[in-house]
Amino acid sequence: MLVYLTIVFNLDNVTAANIINIFRGSTNISTLLGAFFSDTFFGRYNTLAAIGLGIPAALMFVACVVFFVGTKLYVRLKPNGSPIKSIIQVLVVAVKKRRLKVPSQHPMISLFDYVPPNSLNLKLSSTNQFRVLDKAAMITPHEKINPDGSPADPWSLCSIQQVEELKCLVRVLPILFFGILFFLSITQQ
């Protein structure tokens, strides 16, 4: 709002900040004045408060009952490993294999595609974005694979699923950073 007032209305920063503070203060004080006049002159504030607080309390009670009755129906899974460990594995393996070339034709053939049999994660499809991370899933002659299909050394070979999970996280990071910048600028006003 400060930027809008300074650019569109050509106000200096001090005047624009004063206008914003007056606006925020008047909107905050108006609710207090409304409650005061309602309670003093109209006399119905007590009954409205009882109804206004009673309905949400009753609905919250119903929600708690439904929640606790339904807990036996929830699917509970024990955690099997840390997501941070998987992220670090992909980064370490991608750095180790940074000199490898990803084939331009049929790159999926050379990538390690393994999803554990008891995994409930949806299989992510391979994307062309951040292809440097795909090197972590490239199979080289040195990698050994267990009979069940898992890598013998997870610190030298990662699955496409692990790589795509890291790519998803990297795609969300700009939102996080710009959100932080947005709230920093809001608090500075």
Confidence tier at 108 by pLDDT (50, 70, 90): low
Please write down the HEC assignment for all residues of the chain: CHHHHHHCCCCCHHHHHHHHHHHHHHHHHHHHHHHHHHHHHHCCHHHHHHHHHHHHHHHHHHHHHHHHHHHHHCCCCCCCCCHHHHHHHHHHHHHHCCCCCCCCCCHHHHECCCCCCCCCCCCCCCCCCCHHHHHHHECCCCCCECCCCCECCCCCCCCHHHHHHHHHHHHHHHHHHHHHHHHHHHHCC
pTM, to two decimals: 0.57
For 45-75, the pLDDT digits (tens) are: 555 667 778 888 999 999 999 999 988 888 7
pLDDT at 48: 65
